[in-house]
Amino acid sequence: MLVSRTRLQGASVGLTVDTCALGTSHGRESSPHGAPRSANAMSMKLDPDDEFFIPDTSHLDWSKAEIGRGARKPGEKTEIFVDGAVAYRLRLIPSNRVLARFDSTLEAWPAIIATVAGGRSARTLSLDAEFADGTFHLVSAGPRLERWARFNDGGPNPYGDGPVEARRRVAKGAA
């Protein structure tokens, strides 16, 4: 096995590349430009004085950390704006029949949720932004639109609290 260590110097980046060239069936140990044939044969180590070096943060007191300014409060509704849009419309896929028109997405979220609750499959819904020149562009569609509507209408974050643990089922007599 051939091992070489190369020190590369850039403008502000020092990078040490360990390459380990392994023999292959066709006799070449590396590609023509000198890189190893496998990503497994190369490792990168960043210097502590490098701008991309991530320092150890285990000594920091994370109990004083605060939620960022952009974080949504529970129950807070969110309006989505599309540049240049004058209205929004909810339509059926694939028939393109328009179910409703809205001036803002705040008005659209409850209608989307009610449509799905009424038995319409979320896969058949599409929300479009309408522009002054008569064109329209897709904002979202399908199951993603339903989740997005529930979240932006003030519902719980479907990804916020992580997975809910299911109760453990134990066979009779095994416990």
| Domain definitions of the chain by residue range | 2-46, 85-152
Kindly report the pTM of this predicted structure: 0.53
Query: For 77-132, how does the pLDDT look when each residue is reduced to its tens digit (9 = 90+)?
Result: 888 889 999 999 999 999 999 999 999 999 999 999 999 999 999 999 999 999 99
Contact status, residue 97 vs residue 84, Cβ threshold 8 Å? no
pLDDT per position as a tens digit, 51-69: 667 777 888 888 877 776 6
Instruction: Give Cα separations from 47 to 4, 41, 154 (angstroms).
Output: 18, 20, 46
Distance CA 100, CA 111 (A): 8
DSSP result, 130-173: EETTS-EEEEEEHHHHHHHHHHHTT---TTTS-PPPPPPP--TT
pLDDT of 79 reads: 87
The per-residue pLDDT for range 125-163, each reduced to its tens digit, is: 999 999 999 999 999 999 899 988 988 888 876 655 555
| Mean pLDDT computed over 22-46 | 58
Q: Is the pLDDT of residue 7 over 60?
A: no
The one-letter code for the residue type at 130 is: E
